[in-house]
Amino acid sequence: MGIVKVTDNIYWVGVVDWNVKSFHGYTYTTKRGTTYNAYLIVDEKIALVDTVYGPFTNEMIEKIEEVIGSVSRIDYVISNHVETDHSGGMPGLMARIPKVPVYCTQKGKEGLYKNYYGNWDYKIVKSGDELKLGKNTCVFLEAPMIHWPDSMFTYVKEQQVLLPNDAFGQHIATSERFDDEVDMHFVMEEATKYYANILWPLNSLISKKLDEVTKMNIGIKIIGPSHGIIWRKDPGKIVKFYSDCSNSRVTVDNKVVIAYETMWNSTELIAKSIAEGLISEGMSVKLYNIPVSDMTEVIAECFTAKGILFGSSTHDNEMLPNIAMFIHMLKGLRPKGKYAGCFGSMGWAGGAVKDMQETLAKSGLEFVIEPVSCKFVPDKEETKKCIEFGKSFAKILKSK
């Protein structure tokens, strides 16, 4: 798709990647694809804000040249974030304009150099620094750990356009570019997935950064993130959503996720009995057999759940490998403030439940119930015990 005008003189010169189905080395599924949004600000001076993923460099350059004739007219390159989905276009672009200064944070310079080994003319910026383009001024705001140490936002102050790179993004490929052109249900679903899978462990930093931006009392008419839809109709919607997420206001009080892996079906029987107990106490349950589930989606469900239960059959005295991978991913997101429990089944010897609990011990989850498990296939008494486990977990959640 071609260039898109974001304002009279700010152009979207990014690309739509319809076919990318996983991100971050297969740790994040992107079944709706994504976009890499780059922005060209055309004034007396011309600035390019971010680039695109490397394989799409030529497509970006063609778009830039459609607007200004030649990339040689670019006066400044601004790199908000080093990660390769946004800086991958830099080597190809900078080979054409090697003397053009590159504006970035100190960490941005270190990261760009260590990725591409380009001896470019780096200009290090700090929060509050300005770059005058003519009628427009870019103001920089460092945003360390949102989501990398090098991250920063660029704010075009006269037009009140915020270009915050990954923040407020969504992995979604669309032919439309703006929030007023698309079904917001899908956008918010992807924004939730994005926050949960990438930003969840950074809640307190995001909350502080939002407070800092609020205190600056700047107007924001448009937010152009580096992935997905540009917010021009209602930028406040995504800012409020981030505020709610970072302050744990998106937790649904009666929501429980049950994530499990089963070998010969007994753990699944237990999971379903627990679900029965939870539902009988008015809980809303999401049940996932992890090996056949999309883990990115399950993590997004965990993000808004109050309780999470983990189940596994025992194999070699340990949990099964797929639930182990899920637990490993969730642990990295440091899911503080969620209540948890474990269950499982075994043949002659156990170990899965202990393994899961030990692995999650430093995750930030609060284990509030003794595990339930059974040997081989649950009998009627054991099934009843599992239903009761579900009811007890529901009562504990209600008391919290």
Strands 161-165 and 152-156: antiparallel
Which of 17, 43, 83, 382 touches ligand FEO (CB under 6 A)? 83
Amino acid at 145: M
Calculate the alpha carbon distances from 169 to 34, 146, 267, 279 in Å: 10, 12, 37, 34
- Taking the C-alpha atoms of residue 137 and residue 132, their distance in angstroms, rounded to an integer, is 4
Q: How far is the CB of 190 from ligand FEO (least distance, A)?
A: 13
Q: Is 17 in the site for ligand FEO (CB under 6 A)?
A: no
Point out which span in 78-86, 98-106, 183-191, 324-332 binds ligand FEO (CB under 6 A): 78-86
| 171 catalytic residue (yes or no) | no
| 315 catalytic residue (yes or no) | no
- Taking the C-alpha atoms of residue 385 and residue 365, their distance in angstroms, rounded to an integer, is 24
Residue among 43 and 150 whose Cβ is closer to ligand FEO: 150
Binding mask 140-159 for ligand FEO (x = CB under 6 A): -------x------------
| 86 catalytic residue (yes or no) | no
| 166 catalytic residue (yes or no) | yes
Q: Is 177 in the site for ligand FEO (CB under 6 A)?
A: no
Question: Is 383 within 8 Å of 269 (Cβ atoms)?
Answer: yes
Which of 43, 50, 85, 150 touches ligand FEO (CB under 6 A)? 85
Which of 43, 50, 150, 166 touches ligand FEO (CB under 6 A)? 166
| 81 catalytic residue (yes or no) | yes
Residue among 83 and 261 whose Cβ is closer to ligand FEO: 83
- Taking the C-alpha atoms of residue 285 and residue 55, their distance in angstroms, rounded to an integer, is 42
Q: How far is the CB of 49 from ligand FEO (least distance, A)?
A: 14
Which of 145, 140, 116 shows the shortest CA–CA distance to 246? 145
- List the interface residues with ligand FEO, window 212-241 (CB under 6 A): 226-227
| 85 catalytic residue (yes or no) | yes
Point out which span in 77-85, 94-102, 136-144, 313-321 binds ligand FEO (CB under 6 A): 77-85
Q: Is 190 in the site for ligand FEO (CB under 6 A)?
A: no
Question: What φ, ψ does residue 46 adopt, rounded to 5°?
Answer: -115, 130
Q: How far is the CB of 290 from ligand FEO (least distance, A)?
A: 26
Both tokens assigned to 164: 């915050």
- Taking the C-alpha atoms of residue 178 and residue 361, their distance in angstroms, rounded to an integer, is 43
| 234 catalytic residue (yes or no) | no
Q: Is 81 in the site for ligand FEO (CB under 6 A)?
A: yes
Residue among 195 and 343 whose Cβ is closer to ligand FEO: 195
CA angle 96, 98, 100 (to 5 degrees): 105
Query: What DSSP designation does 55 have?
Result: G
Residue among 30 and 313 whose Cβ is closer to ligand FEO: 30
Which of 62, 77, 182, 212 shows the shortest CA–CA distance to 138? 77
Reply yes or no: is the peptide bond before residue 147 cis, omega within 30 of 0: yes
- Taking the C-alpha atoms of residue 2 and residue 379, their distance in angstroms, rounded to an integer, is 63
DSSP symbols for 27-52? TEE-TT-EEE--EEEESSSEEEE---
Catalytic residue among 81, 86, 155, 242: 81
Which residue's C-beta sits nearest to ligand FEO?
83
| 24 catalytic residue (yes or no) | yes
CA terminus-to-terminus distance, the chain: 50
Catalytic residue among 43, 150, 227, 242: 227
In sequence order, what are the beta bridge partners of 341? Answer: 309
Catalytic residue among 43, 166, 179, 190: 166
Instruction: Name the residues that contact ligand FEO, by CB under 6 A.
Output: 81, 83, 85-86, 147, 166, 226-227
Active site residues: 24, 81, 83, 85, 147, 166, 194, 227
